[in-house]
Chain A
Amino acid sequence: MTERVLLVDDEEEYLEIMSERMRARDIEVTASTSAREALNMIATESYDAVIMDFMMPDMNGIEALKIIKEKNPEMQIILLTGHATVEKTVEAMKAGAMDLIEKPADLDALSEKIKNAHNKKALFVAKKDQDRVIEMLKKFGI
């Protein structure tokens, strides 16, 4: 099954080339140059992973990550940064990021992470369904 990715970065050329390379690897990519626009897209579409630049002009990556995770806990977020300091990595992980990757990113490694994101999301959804069924069974005293 194809992985669905939302790629968010204010560098248009980066988005264009990265999207082209990901599509060549059978990844379904939607691109956005703004974090706020990305939040609107997430409200109506489902993605396996959101790959987002840490420093966006309209909103920083952590802020966006917290909003996404609050509404869509199943969505896996990978943050891209110029410098992955320990503090930044801890902050990102605490906020629920799947990973923090330093730019320039290695696309093969990133593709692996996207596959993992797809699997993690599928597991999360399956677990949620299972919990719902258990809850219903309990309700009926079974």
Chain B
Amino acid sequence: MKEEKQTLAMDGAQFFGEMTASISHEIKNVMAIINENAGLLEDMVAMHRQGVPFPAERIEKLAQSVRRQIARADDIIQTLNRFGHSADHARETVDVGETVQFMMNLTSRLIMMQGTRFDFTAPEKPVTTFANRFFMAYLTWRCMAAAMEMGHAEKSIRMRLDTTENGPCLAFSGVGRCDAFSAASLSALEDSDVLRLLDARLVLHPGKGEFHVLLSKAQY
């Protein structure tokens, strides 16, 4: 039990590190653009000192660019803040669809780097589970990473969320052969502590190129 907790803590720390490192890259990109805007303004001042008039329209465009980047940074920081607060409660009612969308947003650059596209179909009504929000996000990412690892030539993975009588079911399809041997990460996930913590199960459907994550029902 102690060992299981330690493994989970290590996995969680690694996940947190991976996500924050990715976010910090995004922030650096924003800073780089603002930095070049400032540099261009300095160039214009230097030219103005040599008698070149200020290009008002260009300066206006630069100000707009800075505003856009500030708004982008604000979004990134809000996402980071939300991610940080996901570990606030040991267990709570978690909207699974919202978690999936949040993870798609948080990992958008990592997904893009893999040249993969995720399409998510969320049900009209919220589907909830009673779980630890942070580890629910972690499980979602592990599944997404496994799906990307298995992915086929089209690199388009579909995620569908349904409610079954036993609880929510998050289905990943378009994932090639989809057997435990085709993805080391999926194989590792099958017997992982995070599934036990969330009282979840992984079901593979190799013939259909799908795998399902069965989550526990929400408790009220």
Binding site for B on A (CB under 8 A): 11, 13-14, 17-18, 20-21, 24, 55-58, 60, 80, 82-83, 103-105, 107
Q: Is B33 in contact with A83, judged by CB distance below 8 angstroms?
A: no
B 40-76 binary contact with A (CB < 8 Å = 1; else 0) = 1001000000000000000000100100110000000
Q: Which residues, 114 to 142 on B, are CB-close (under 8 Å) to A?
A: 115
Q: Which residues of A contact B32 (CB under 8 A)?
A: 11, 14, 80, 103-105
How many pairs of A and B residues are in contact by the CB < 8 Å rule? 58
Shortest B29–chain A CB gap in Å is 5
Whether a CB of chain A sits under 8 angstroms from the CB of B199 is no
Distance between Cα atoms of A71 and B21 in the complex (Å): 33
Distance between Cα atoms of A107 and B35 in the complex (Å): 10
Distance between Cα atoms of A95 and B36 in the complex (Å): 28
Kindly state the interface size class of chain B when it binds its partner.
20 to 34
Whether a CB of chain A sits under 8 angstroms from the CB of B156 is no
Known: A13-B65, A24-B43, A83-B25. 6 other contacts (CB 8 A): A17-B36, A17-B37, A17-B62, A21-B39, A104-B28, A107-B36
Q: Is A55 in contact with B40, judged by CB distance below 8 angstroms?
A: no
Q: Which 9 A-B pairs have the closest CB atoms?
A: A104-B35, A82-B28, A82-B25, A17-B36, A103-B32, A57-B112, A104-B32, A14-B33, A103-B28
Whether a CB of chain A sits under 8 angstroms from the CB of B109 is yes
Q: Is B24 in contact with A83, judged by CB distance below 8 angstroms?
A: yes
Q: Which residues of A contact B21 (CB under 8 A)?
A: 83
Whether a CB of chain A sits under 8 angstroms from the CB of B31 is yes
Q: Is B115 in contact with A58, judged by CB distance below 8 angstroms?
A: yes
Whether a CB of chain A sits under 8 angstroms from the CB of B113 is yes
* Contact partner, A17, options B65, B68, B112, Cβ 8 Å: B65
Q: Is B113 in contact with A104, judged by CB distance below 8 angstroms?
A: no
Q: Which residues of A contact B31 (CB under 8 A)?
A: 103-104
Binding site for A on B (CB under 8 A): 21, 24-25, 28-29, 31-37, 39-40, 43, 62, 65, 68-69, 109, 112-113, 115
Shortest A26–chain B CB gap in Å is 13
Q: Which residues of A contact B24 (CB under 8 A)?
A: 82-83
Distance between Cα atoms of A108 and B213 in the complex (Å): 53
Shortest B33–chain A CB gap in Å is 5
Interface centre among B29, B113, B115 (most CB of A within 10 A): B29
Distance between Cα atoms of A11 and B34 in the complex (Å): 12
Q: Is B36 in contact with A18, judged by CB distance below 8 angstroms?
A: yes
Q: Which residues of B contact A11 (CB under 8 A)?
A: 29, 32-33
Distance between Cα atoms of A80 and B25 in the complex (Å): 11
Distance between Cα atoms of A18 and B24 in the complex (Å): 21
Q: Which residues of A contact B39 (CB under 8 A)?
A: 17, 21, 107
Shortest A92–chain B CB gap in Å is 16
Q: Known: A14-B36, A17-B65, A21-B36. Is A60-B113 also a contact (CB below 8 A)?
A: yes
Shortest A13–chain B CB gap in Å is 5
Residue of A nearest to B65 (CB): A13
